[in-house]
Amino acid sequence: MKYRFINQVLFLLLVSTFQVHAEGTREISPSNANQYKLAVRNGGVRGCFGTIVCTDISTKICFDIKTVGEKVYFGFTPDNSSAYSYQIKKLDGTIVQQGALPVATGTGYIGSYNAAVIGPAALFTGGYTALTFIPTATGTYIFDFDIGSNVNDEKLIKYFDITVASSTNIEQKGRVYSQSWNFQGTSNSTPFTSILYPYTADSVVTAIDFGGMAPAAFSVSCNLNGCSNTGNFVLDRRSVDGLMTYPQYKVFLNNPDIDLFPSGSMGQIDSVKIENPCDGMVKFKLYANKPGLADFYIEINGVAGYQLEDKFLTTSVEPGIANIINWNGVADNGDTVANGKHIEIQVTFVNGRTNLPLYDVEYGNNVNWKGFNVSLVRPAGPTPKLFWVDTLLYTPPYPANSMELNGCVGTCHSWGMIGNEKTINTWWYSLTASAVPIDLRYRRSNYTAIPYILCQGDSVQIFGVWRKSPGYFSQTGINCMSCDSITGVTLTVLPGPTLDLGPDQVLCQGASTVLDATGPAGSTYLWSTGATTPTITVSTTNTYSITLTAPNGCIKTDNIHITASSVVPIPIKHY
């Protein structure tokens, strides 16, 4: 019984050993019940991926060779029986090996899920018979599928494996990656339970546990800024409508080989100096001991946590120099900070900032999905917090889970059906180091601009002097922060309309006259008679006045007295 128990244990250990080899299907489909396929395509809505038609390195499947003599074993199972082939290339495009891939049986064909998980038979008992590539040089190689030349051509690979082995046939994990993996589930409700490993530009590795989301078809890419790359992280990190992703980081199927992809080291802020002259600009000078990123969170409104009334800035930093970032004193909502306002500035050195923008990912039928779980693999440090801003995808009032700017630890950020044909972004910092918060009483010169308009002939008193000619006039004082307080008046003089009804008139008995006040086109008129026309005809004794308003708003008045002669009776003589 004792020996039987030992043999059973050894058998279980041997079987479990078989289950931890290969790079491909084993990683994206840890369970046979939840299978995802590799989706290679020449174009279409989701873009190019994994084929000879794709031109950018970010759309390629890659593997790295560390030592001459290493071998690459590979095999694939198409989702249908159509023929296809492959090319292995250097980065410069030189083809170093190519050939047909089997569609039913033979070398390079993976006959079952178990064989795909176990790996190449040359390395592991029970695996598949693999095709082999023996590189003659170290470096990065590209594995391309040739599935035809039509832009809409697409092929699903049911099982796939690319395993790098040493010259003595020892598996070398963490060699296979892409910047834009494309996968498709066997149904719209297939949970994606894989763990993938992005490697940032500053050499930080995190592990993304997708937790069983069920997106059907989707791509995985990670980058520094989010859905866009405008340089404004506050805007770029927001989830948006439509397809807005850009691949930047290498995303591995396993923890990247540490010899080829070493761990970064945590950066620190040495000091931060601030200059705030009276021009209203704030200049930060940051000194750090490592290259990386720095975030400046400027608390303006006094409410804990970031709101649009505050300001968020970010910049890349280099060690040993004064890294300069300028702020114009304007909050993210466009408001200018008041002179003398007390604000607090939190400066954080950031390592491993990773954004995960996912396009067209929704629940499917897996309503139990609770979000992602992200862990730090290397270098050592605290568990990353997850952040997101999904408010552009909703109409107010926003749901409580539409934004997280204070950081969530654990399983975080699920969104349901709102992800349909949207790009939803999640980001995290892997390692951070903060400087002591800085208090600043904001300074700027006050400038008050006063426009004043006169009509020709009028005058106004400006700073104690009567003015009637156009010009700019200013007066300077000192405000509460010992900066200038300038008031400037710009005086504009508008031309007045010409109006002249002429001298008073005497009319003969029974006669009439036309009074003409016609001014510039668009003028309005008001006569003392109530008439609103440019001209009126009068025949009676009276004083007639007119108010003419020109299109520029200037007003002119005039009046005229009309005397109408009375009837003089002719005497009648009697003879």
Each residue's pLDDT tens digit, 264-286? 888 889 999 999 998 899 999 99
Q: What residues are paired with 320 via a beta bridge?
A: none
Q: Who wins on pLDDT, 570 or 559?
A: 559
Tell me what pLDDT residue 367 has.
Answer: 67
In this model, does residue 517 exceed pLDDT 50?
yes
Exposure letters 103-122 (e unless 16+ CB within 10 A, then b): eeeeebbbeebebbbbbbee
In this model, does residue 31 exceed pLDDT 50?
yes
Q: What mean pLDDT is predicted for residues 221-247? A: 92
Q: Give the percent of the chain with pLDDT over 70.
A: 94
> For residues 290 and 274, what is the distance between their CA atoms, to the nearest angstrom?
20
| Residue 571 binned pLDDT confidence (cut-offs 50, 70, 90) | low
Each residue's pLDDT tens digit, 443-458? 988 788 999 999 988 8
What's CA 149's distance to the chain center, in Å? 33
| Residue 569 binned pLDDT confidence (cut-offs 50, 70, 90) | low
Tell me what pLDDT residue 267 has.
Answer: 85
Tell me what pLDDT residue 146 has.
Answer: 95
Report whether 517 contacts 501 (CB < 8 A).
yes
* Six-digit token string for 298: 């400027």
Report whether 51 contacts 146 (CB < 8 A).
yes
69-83, 104-118, 352-366, 416-430: which range is least confident on average?
A: 352-366
* Six-digit token string for 464: 């104690």
Q: What mean pLDDT is predicted for residues 280-309? A: 90
Q: Report the CATH fold assignment for 17-186.
A: Jelly Rolls (2.60.120)
Tell me what pLDDT residue 26 has.
Answer: 94
Q: What mean pLDDT is predicted for residues 367-388? A: 91
* Six-digit token string for 397: 């009032």
1-15, 205-219, 396-410: which range is least confident on average?
A: 1-15
* Residue 519, C-beta contacts closer than 8 angstroms, at least 6 positions apart: 497, 498, 499, 525, 534, 548, 550, 556
In this model, does residue 482 exceed pLDDT 80?
yes
In this model, does residue 478 exceed pLDDT 70?
yes
| Residue 567 binned pLDDT confidence (cut-offs 50, 70, 90) | low
In this model, does residue 227 exceed pLDDT 60?
yes
Mean pLDDT of the residues in the chain:
90
Q: What mean pLDDT is predicted for residues 528-551? A: 95
Q: Who wins on pLDDT, 204 or 485?
A: 204
Sheet strands side by side (includes 542-549)? 505-507, 555-564, 542-549, 524-527
| Range(s) within the chain of domains with CATH label 2.60.120 | 17-186
In this model, does residue 8 exceed pLDDT 80?
no
> For residues 344 and 405, what is the distance between their CA atoms, to the nearest angstrom?
17
Each residue's pLDDT tens digit, 47-89? 899 999 999 999 999 999 999 999 999 999 998 767 789 999 9
Tell me what pLDDT residue 157 has.
Answer: 95
Burial of 531 (C-beta count, 10 Å sphere; 0-12/13-18/19+): middle
Exposure letters 125-137 (e unless 16+ CB within 10 A, then b): eebbbbbebebee
Tell me what pLDDT residue 20 has.
Answer: 46
In this model, does residue 12 exceed pLDDT 70?
no
Q: Give the percent of the chain with pLDDT over 90.
A: 69
Q: What mean pLDDT is predicted for residues 34-59? A: 94
| Residue 19 binned pLDDT confidence (cut-offs 50, 70, 90) | very low
Tell me what pLDDT residue 570 has.
Answer: 61
> For residues 352 and 292, what is the distance between their CA atoms, to the nearest angstrom?
8
In this model, does residue 164 exceed pLDDT 90?
yes
Q: Report the CATH fold assignment for 269-352+434-441.
A: Immunoglobulin-like (2.60.40)
Each residue's pLDDT tens digit, 84-142? 899 999 999 999 999 999 888 899 999 999 999 999 999 999 999 999 999 999 999 99
Tell me what pLDDT residue 221 has.
Answer: 96
Tell me what pLDDT residue 444 has.
Answer: 87
Q: How many helices (H) and strands (E) does the chain have?
A: 4, 40
Tell me what pLDDT residue 366 has.
Answer: 59
Tell me what pLDDT residue 574 has.
Answer: 63
In this model, does residue 365 exceed pLDDT 60?
no
| Range(s) within the chain of domains with CATH label 2.60.40.4070 | 269-352+434-441
Q: What mean pLDDT is predicted for residues 537-549? A: 95
Three-state SS for 117? helix
What's CA 387's distance to the chain center, in Å? 14
Which of 230-239, 302-311, 431-440, 525-534 is the most confident on average?
Answer: 525-534
